[in-house]
Amino acid sequence: MTAALRAGLPVVLPFDTVYGLAAEPHDEVSTRRLYELKGRPPTQPTALVAASIDTLRALLPELDTSGAWHLLPGPLTLVVPNPAHRFRWLTGTNPDALGIRIPDLPGTTREIVASVGAVVATSANLPGGPDPRRFEDVPEEIRAGAAAAVDGGEVPGTPSTVVDLTGPEPRILREGAVPTTEVLRRLQAPVRST
């Protein structure tokens, strides 16, 4: 599995939310392979998933870890400022922001991600398709196109909640595994109706 990732090939892994399609994040080519396998346009952003906050600090030295870090690890994707425009191939059309995750990973996935430090990851479904809760729910074309895969049994099946921390107040971009009210309560932010 780690050899496939280091070779720049996409793999399927169980995450703390859904089954994910992951690749080595440092090389734009490996990210493009992941996008092609998923059928995702390169204009969409994808999260950088790290094994720990220390790993994120090493990858993004300008990252301000004083704010929402008490939310992690967990089923959240935090969109943070990216002033150095790192990992441009993960940012979609906005190089000033980058999605990051530190999931509470299941055993095998934890070992794999820890061994490589970080991956780029997105749900292992086709665009608009259902979020894969079980390995069998991952579309056959994705399983067949991945260099390696781990069947970790059933996972919760709800994607991460995406929280934008680039402005003066946090904004929920997608409600997922953690309800909006709980995220905002934990951030001590006002709950606004949309």
The pTM assigned to this predicted structure is: 0.93
**In this model, does residue 106 exceed pLDDT 90?**
no
Can you give the residue range of the structural domain that contains 114? 2-186
In a domain, 48, yes or no: yes
Backbone phi, then psi, for 135, in 5-degree steps?
-55, -40
CATH code at position 59 = 3.90.870.10
11-25, 58-72, 74-88: which has the minimum mean pLDDT?
A: 58-72
Centre a 10 Å sphere on the Cβ of residue 159 and count the other Cβ atoms it contains: 20
Split at pLDDT 50, 70, 90, the class of 85 is: very high
CA separation for the pair 161, 48 (Å, rounded)? 15
Which residue from 124, 96, 99 is spatially nearest to 40, judged by alpha carbons?
124
The domain total for the chain is 1
Residue 191: per-residue pLDDT? 60
How large is the average pLDDT for residues 97-106?
Answer: 92
Backbone phi, then psi, for 23, in 5-degree steps?
-150, 170
90-99, 131-140, 142-151, 178-187: which has the minimum mean pLDDT?
A: 178-187
